[in-house]
Structure 1
Amino acid sequence: KYVSTHILIIIYLGVVQTDKGLVEGRSHRMGLFRTVDVFKGVPFADVPGKWEKPKPHPGWSGRSLLQRLLLMDRWNLSSSPSDDDDDDGDSSSPVSTSLPVMVYLFGGAFMLGASNDVAILGDSLYDGKELAERGDVIVVTVNYRVGTMGFLSSGDARLPGNYGLWDQHAAISWVRRNIAAFGGNPENITIFGQSAGAVSASYQMLSPHSKGLFRRVISQCGVALSPWALQKNPMRLCLRQIARKVGCSRSDEDEMLACLKLSDPVGLTMAGKIDVFLLLGKVVDGDFVPDEPSRLFHNAAQFDYMAGVNSMDGHLFAGVDVPSINKENGNTTVEDVKGLLAGLTKEKGVTAVGSAYSVYSSHWGSAPEPAVVKKTVADIETDFLFLVPTQIALQLHANNSSGARTYSYLFNMETRIPGFPRWVEAEHAEDLQYLFGKPFATPLVYFPRHRDLSGYMIAYWTNFARTGDPSKGDSRVPVPWPAFTKHHQPYLAINHKITKSSVSYDLRSEYISYWTKTYSSLPAVRREEEEEEEEEEEGGDLTQ
């Protein structure tokens, strides 16, 4: 199943007419004079066939009051129900109209997740009530197919893939058609997401199918250019692995695909877990994604764009690759650093390892502190997986923009995760708790500084959704946030102490220059021996 989530709107809306039927929400009290309405489980499409694009919902009779979250907004103290409201609540009109709309796409490596996922003290991490109420916007969270059902592909027309992207597109289209009935402005829709959801938002922006569908995009910790965001060889690296696991290994590809299409969806879903983590993903399908992402930014010229990363986005992944970085007495060696670089740069060979190592160790000195070496490991993965691709995407957007604005940020609040070394700042996904207002919703587990940060993020994000400028809107912000342009690259450092000095320029420019110029100019190394070994391993698996 996949459904869009709920609608929180000013005053109790009661029953709302959508293009497919009536939906009924519930009012949630947020304080003495604060209320939001929540509409859960609103279907935006029919149940799709296996590896098929979503299809229109046939509609329903009666009221739909299902179990997920879709849209949200706050009760305005100066508003009152319209004169024609019925006492039983069966018809009412939203007092607010033309509210900005923010559609959230969840992350989860394209493998897992849901719009009501990761409950925190009873509420989903993505629960939008605080964001909606404090920012005076409508928040929409949507579900889409993930894992093998959403992103398995043969790399050609036989099984083109990107079904999760099509689901997102169907949900956004539903919002565009219906949001006015909930008090939203269909001409002012912002798509935002984190990690794989940020990549998804980026692809929605780059697709030719999105022209005129929404107005702005926010990517948090992921873009379409991220090295893990595009699967360039889905048949060899992913589909054959799935086929083996469900008993569909065949030498003839058409027979293998026919077998997969007859396989049990539950078995296929389980086959896609863990072992192919970060291998399932978007593909160039010639349709929704017609070309390499870097060549599609002309499609993004109309959208205002805001993107950034967390300062330690790569730390958790680096801790898996080099476990010693998180051990108090662990010794992270030069060989560890070079080994990590070898894994990341294998398509360029040993020359890349040496050149990258010289760049990242240049500030160490003759006898570097152990913490400095360990932090460098985290920085390498953060740069390679998140920060550099995001900065490239921002530059491409600014270069292609036709009047739309571009904004860059670095979220560097210290981590709240216990047990990590002191040098660790913002982990992957740590920004979400603040954006969705958890320090306000569950105040006992946060300090005042966390509420300060949460208020800042909600203000900047919802101002951007309202006006296209995070500094301008209904919410006060601590400092102006200058736009990123072709020739000037400012960014805002986001934490609980935002001052004028929080605006800096040329984020990690030395390292971005290395990856975009020096590294990219190195010749690729064809590793025939490795490919032969992989093929032998695949053959060996068939006989086990």
Structure 2
Amino acid sequence: MKFIYHKGNYGLWDQLLAVEWIYENAHLFGGDRDRIVLAGHSAGAGNVMLIPASHYSRGMIRRVISQSGTGLAPWSINNNPMKLLERFSEDICCKRPNDNEMLKCIYKLLEKSDRDIYQLHISLNIADDNPYPVIDNDFINDTIENILQSDIYKNIDFLTGVTLHEGLYFAEYHIKNFYSEYPNSSNLINQSTSSKKCPNIYSNLTTIKSSKETPTIKKTSLHNKQDGIMNFERRTDIEQTSSNDLNEYLENFAKLNYIEEYIDANFQHGKCFIDEVKKKYELPARRNTTYRLKLFIDLVSDLMFNFHMVRCLNLLSKVSNRNSSSYAYIYSHRPTSKVHSGYRDQLKLLPQAIGHFAELDYIFGVPLARNYSRIHRNVNMNYYNYTSDEENFSRQLIRYWSNFIKTGDPNKGSSSIGKSVVEWKSYTKKEHNYLNFDLNSIQNTVNYFDEMYKFWLHCFHIESTGVCQKNTIKIYLILFIILLIFLLFLLMIYLLWKYFQKKKPRDVFSRRSPTALLPYPNHVSA
């Protein structure tokens, strides 16, 4: 940002303070300050990669566990923070021509308000203008991609992975709020910002109210429209919708050009490869609505999570003389816990879908809660009716994670933890290994995301260069046609010339030989 005294990244600074405290005091609690491990999920997965990326970390971090996200994900870094500031200032009527005046207005409101006046911005764009960390040339002084290729991550062990359908809940939200023509949907696509009303800020500033509407900061109904800005509370409306309504949402979704909408929202040159995207994520489903939904979830998962995870692993695998290892997993067991999901639980269209958060209960040992009386008071066991197989499954995940935390190798740990049942092979430049976690089958798989990665790597290359292959082929084709026409024209002129050559008499340019001139007679006059 252009304001020297407002660089951002305050959340990262706070987290760094916690790391520094641990580093300085670990020995007082029997800890080893040389084995500090940062672990995070989703947005936290991005943060735990950004902290060691800062030169202020000074090598304090030894290992990173980044689940369901990485520092390369488009939602990990806000590359245009001024857009966020301008949108936020407009939301609360602090839009000013002068940036400093705009900031003063915002600060004044924040000082007088007793509540959070920020509204989460959700749209089809993956990298929305929300308050993500920024490259401030201080805490973070380069792109994460460049940092990963430097020596900063040379000595940091890395564990990362995704669930089988990471984009499940995000895809559900998009279908409900952006892709539906159902009468009761919010249908925020293509709304004009001019229709938005700037709220009036009352003197007590405990609420922000629209000029003629009810307060905007509250649990809003699904019928309300806010120009693409929606509160998270609307998820309740999804869960309360009947199965018949949801079926109608999905039927309308299948009729729309949802692939074009999603690609246009996230790529400037998306039209260059839209046909290839549809061929991969839409056409195989034909008229099967369930399969269409699954492919759309795959599309959202690949762009939000999977591609960037593989990109991160590949960059780390190419760092020369790296003294650490990387491990990757795919989680494919659907949890027993009754997590609400408008489509998965009510329609049962995708009973085996494994979305965001699916692995967390098992890694933290929730299935083992029945054996600990103290946990009973905090856990409703009716919602966590795990089987004995799931309890053993949870123990195995805990073993892998604990081993990695202790040694940097998920296969080796202390004698009390023991060795893992299946060897988790590291992800290297030559071998793209993943450990697939399924309830009854934990096994290694190779090159699982390679095809997807190559596909999107090509698309992102087109996006970054602005060179559209379709346009290039079209230009070459037009030039070829013009050249062909010109050659045909020359050939036609030549053939006409030859034709007229044959039509003319052979002597057209010759003259008849004159008869021999006879000498004049000598006339002798008598």
TM range (shorter): 0.5 to 0.7
- The aligned counterpart of 2:266 is 345
Which residue pairs with 2:521 in the alignment? none
Instruction: Give the Cα–Cα distance (whole angstroms) in 2 for the partners of residues 172 and 273 of structure 1.
Output: 30
Deviation by residue 1:18-42 (Cα, 9 ceiling, x = unmatched):
xxxxxxxxxxxxxxxxxxxxxxxxx
1:525 deviation in Å?
Answer: 6.6
In structure 2, the residue matched to 1:492 is 435
| Contact 2:427-2:433 at 8 Å conserved across structures | yes
Query: 1:247 & 1:344 partners in 2: Cα distance?
Result: 26
After superposition, residues 349-388 of structure 1 pair within 5 angstroms as 349-361=270-282, 363-364=284-285, 367=286, 369-388=288-307
Counterpart of 1:505 in structure 2 is 446
What secondary structure does 1:504 align onto? Answer: strand
Provide closer, same or farther for how the CA distance between residues 344 and 352 of structure 1 changes in structure 2, counting only shifts above 3 A: farther
Asked whether the equivalents of residues 322 and 336 of structure 1 are also in contact (C-alpha less than 8 Å), the reply is no
Task: Give 1:158 shift.
Answer: 3.7
Residues 247 and 337 (structure 1 numbering): CA distance in 2 closer, same or farther, change over 3 Å? closer
Q: Is the 8 A contact 1:199 1:222 kept in 2?
A: yes
1:421 Cα deviation (Å)? Answer: 2.7
- Residue matched to 2:134: 283
2:318 alignment partner, SS class: helix
Change (3 A) 1:522 1:255: closer
Q: Is the contact made by 1:415 and 1:425 (CA closer than 8 Å) also made in structure 2?
A: no
For residues 9-24 of structure 1, the aligned pairs below 5 Å read: none
Question: Cα offset for 1:263?
Answer: 3.5
Q: Which runs of 4+ in 1 moved over 6 A?
A: none
Structure 2 CA distance for partners of 1:167 and 1:266, relative to 1, 3 Å: farther
How many positions carry a matched residue from both structures? Answer: 368
1:45-124 alignment to 2 at 5 Å?
none
One-letter code of the match for 2:136? D
Determine which of 309, 319, 329 is the counterpart of 1:409.
329
Alignment partner, residue 302 of structure 1: 155
Q: Check whether the contact 2:434–2:446 (CA below 8 A) recurs between aligned residues.
A: yes
**Match for 2:407 among 452, 467, 471?**
467
CA shift for structure 1 position 241: 2.3
Given the alignment of the two structures, is residue 181 of structure 1 paired with residue 28 of structure 2, yes or no?
Answer: yes
The separation in 2 between residues aligned to 1:503 and 1:268, in whole angstroms, is: 52
Whole-angstrom CA distance in 1 between matches of 2:59 and 2:17? 14
Alpha-carbon distance between aligned partners in 1 of 2:16 and 2:409, rounded to the nearest angstrom: 25
Work out whether residues 282 and 296 of structure 2, in 8 Å CA contact, stay in contact via their aligned partners in 1: no
Q: Deviations over 1:148-201 (max 9, x none)?
A: xxxxxx465341110100111100110111121111111111100000110000
Change (3 A) 1:268 1:515: farther
C-alpha contact (below 8 Å) 2:163/2:355 kept by paired residues = yes
465-474 or 342-351: which moved more? 342-351
Structure (1 or 2) with the greater strand fraction: 1
Q: Distance in 1 between matches of 2:299 and 2:349?
A: 17
**d(CA) in 1 for partners of 2:63 and 2:114?**
35
Q: Tell me the equivalent position of 2:497.
A: none
Q: Structure 1, residues 196-223: CA drift from partner, whole Å, max 9, x if none? A: 1100001113222223212100100111
Kept in 2, the 8 Å contact 1:345–1:352? The answer is no
User: How has the CA–CA distance of structure 1 residues 343 and 162 changed in structure 2, closer, same or farther, with 3 Å as cutoff?
Assistant: same
Q: Which residue identity lines up with residue 166 of structure 2 in the other structure?
A: D
Distance in 2 between residues matched to 1:520 and 1:227, nearest whole Å: 15
Output the aligned Cα RMSD: 2.6
- Determine the C-alpha separation between the residues in 1 that align with 2:369 and 2:110: 41
Query: TM-score, structure 1 length as denominator?
Result: 0.63
Any idea what SS the aligned residue of 2:423 has?
coil
**How far 1:262 sits from its partner (Å)?**
3.8
Separation in structure 1 between the aligned mates of residue 420 and residue 353 of structure 2, nearest angstrom: 23
Q: Secondary structure at the match of 1:223?
A: coil
Q: Which residue does 2:364 correspond to in 1?
A: 436
Q: Which amino acid aligns with 1:431?
A: E
Q: What displacement does 1:334 show?
A: 6.4
| Structure-2 change in CA distance of 1:341 and 1:509 (3 Å) | farther
Residue 120 of structure 2 is aligned to residue 274 of structure 1:
yes
Per-residue deviation, 1:292? 1.4
1:540 match = none
Higher relative contact order (CA 8 A, sep 6+): 2
Q: Superposed, which structure 2 residues align to 1:126-525 within 5 Å?
A: 154=1, 156-236=3-83, 238-265=84-111, 267=113, 270-275=116-121, 279-297=130-148, 298=150, 299-323=152-176, 327-328=246-247, 330-331=250-251, 332-333=253-254, 335-361=256-282, 363-364=284-285, 367=286, 369-400=288-319, 402-416=322-336, 417=339, 418-419=345-346, 420-442=348-370, 444=381, 445=384, 446-474=386-414, 475=417, 476-499=419-442, 502-522=443-463
TM-score where L is the length of structure 2: 0.65
Aligned with 1:248: secondary structure? coil
Deviations 1:464-502 (A, max 9, x none): 011111011132322000000112100011132234xx2
Residues 225, 293 of structure 1: 8 Å contact kept: yes
Structure 1 252/525 Cα, relative in aligned 2: closer, same or farther at 3 Å? farther
CA contact (8 A) 1:348 1:524 kept: no
Paired residues of 1:459 and 1:477 also in contact (CA < 8 A):
yes
Measure the CA separation in 2 of the matches of 1:310 and 1:318: 14
- CA separation of 1:243 and 1:328: change in aligned 2, threshold 3 A: closer
Cα distance change, pair 190–347 in 1 and its aligned pair in 2 (3 A): same
Q: CA deviation at 1:393?
A: 0.7
Give the AA of the match of 1:458: I
- Read off the aligned partner of 1:372 and give its amino acid letter: Y
Once residues 316 and 253 of structure 1 are traced to their aligned partners in structure 2, the CA distance between those partners, rounded to angstroms, is: 37
Q: Deviations over 1:93-120 (max 9, x none)?
A: xxxxxxxxxxxxxxxxxxxxxxxxxxxx
Aligned to 2:218: none
1:425-459 alpha-carbon deviations (Å, 9 max, x no partner): 22111221111111112464222232122112111
